[in-house]
Structures are given as C-alpha cells and as structure tokens.
Amino acid sequence: MLLSFPSITLFAQLAVAPAIHPAVAPSAIPFDTTVAAPRFSGVALNLAAGGNVRIVGGDSKIVRVQVTDRGRHCADCIVSVSEMPNGIQVLTGRTRNVPASADLQIQIDLPTQTNVLLTSAGGEVEIEGIDGYVSGTTDFGAVHLFRLSGAVKVETRRGDVTLRQSYVRGSVHTNAGRVLLEDVGGDVQGTSSKGGVTERRVERVRTAP
C-alpha cells in the first residue's frame, strides 16, 4: 500500500495530537504493557533515552510495548505510553542529565497496517512487517528494514542501513555508513554521505508526483 502525501501529512499530526486521556505517569524499567487497538493507525516513538528498538508488525489487534535494560540497570530511565486519537505515543527519558544513551531494549509488537514515526537519541533500529508509512531518525546505530510495504523515509547519522524484501517508495540515508538495498521494488533511493550504496535485485517502478 503506497500512501499519498496527504495521508503522510495526516499521520505526521499523530505526534502532536492531544492524548485521549490525561498524561500517563512515567514508569520505571522494566516495563511491559498492552493496548487494545480496534482503530489503531499509528505509533509515535520519541526515545530520548536511546537504546535498541525492534518494531514488528503482525496479525494481532493488540499493541505490546516492552522495555528492558538488558542487564545493565538504569535507575533513572523512565517510559510512558499514552493513547492518542489514532494510535499511541511511546516516550522514554531519564530523570537526570546524562550525556550517553541508555542500554535499553525496546520491543513494539503491533498490527501490520500501521504507520510508524520514530525519533531516537541513538541505538540500533529494526523494523519488520509494516504496511504503512515508516519515518525515523536515530543519532547513531545501524538500521534494518525488512518486509515493508508503503512509504519510507529513514535516516541514521552514523551506521549502516539495510532494506530487504520490501516494496516501498521514499528514501533511506546514512551520513556515515553503507547502504544496502536487496530484493526491493517500488520507487526508493538509498544514499550515503560517507559510504557506498549497494543494490541487489532492485526493480524500480516510478510513481506519479
């Protein structure tokens, strides 16, 4: 499903739309919660604490958010999940000013037909099985995109980017690293400011402006 730009604009409003309920009090790590998603269309993640994130689309109508500290306890790390008119917002942060990102592991399981808006202070990103609009930036860390369908605009400032087995339009970019497009169709461009771009079995189909 290739989304129109009006659809992308509407989804961008998800990140700033008011929550349905009053603000949810932040929770400590580890964190595990589920949210019913009968009318779910997107998830907005602002991961100010950083960490590795894995987002997986599936057949379930339930959204599950799990955050762990991977054995390195982060006493000042917090997370909150808030319901919004068209989805949920996931926030992570720290209660004190620490220059380095935390060693968190964030796992998001959600319906396949979902839009994803991600901003991370740093860490590896994996996104798999999404049919929708995927937009994301991370300050550092590799980005792995797999089995996507729709529109994509993803960037890491430092790290490799791979896009595999997908049919999308849009772009993937790294400021410092390599880009690999493999078994990809649609209208997508891979670019690197300081690194190579490799394409294997890429079939481009130009779409109307």
Q: Which residue bears the tokens 């009318």?
A: 39
pLDDT for 132 beyond 60: yes
Domain for residue 81, yes or no?
yes
| Closest of 208, 172, 169 to residue 186, by C-alpha | 169
pLDDT in tens, 32-61: 999 887 666 899 999 999 889 999 999 988
* Residue 71 binned pLDDT confidence (cut-offs 50, 70, 90): low
Distance CA 8, CA 170 (A): 12
> Using an 8 Å Cβ cutoff, are 48 and 123 in contact?
no
DSSP calls for 174-195? ESSS-EEEEEEEEEEEEEESSS
Containing domain of residue 67, as a range?
Answer: 5-204
Asked, for residue 209, whether it belongs to a domain, the answer is no
Alpha helices in the chain (DSSP H): 5-12
Mean pLDDT of 148-167: 97
Residue type, 144: H
113-122 burial string, b = 16+ CB within 10 Å, else e? ebbbbbebbb
Q: Give residue 22's pLDDT.
A: 39
Task: Provide the pLDDT for residue 59.
Answer: 92
If you average pLDDT over every residue of the chain, what do you get?
Answer: 85
Tell me whether residue 173 is in a domain. yes
Cα(160)–Cα(141) distance, integer angstroms: 7
Q: What is the mean pLDDT of residues 99-118?
A: 90
The band of 13, judged by pLDDT with boundaries at 50, 70 and 90, is: very low
Check residue 58 and give left, alpha or beta (phi > 0: left; psi -120 to 50: alpha). beta
Higher confidence at residue 75 or residue 192? 192
Average pLDDT over residues 93-98: 83
Q: What is the pTM of this model?
A: 0.86
In the chain, the amino acid numbered 34 is T
Q: Indicate whether 79 belongs to any domain.
A: yes
77 φ/ψ sector (left φ>0, alpha ψ -120 to 50, else beta): beta
Residue 192 pLDDT exceeds 90: yes
Inform me whether the pLDDT recorded for 75 exceeds 90: no
Domain tally, the chain: 1
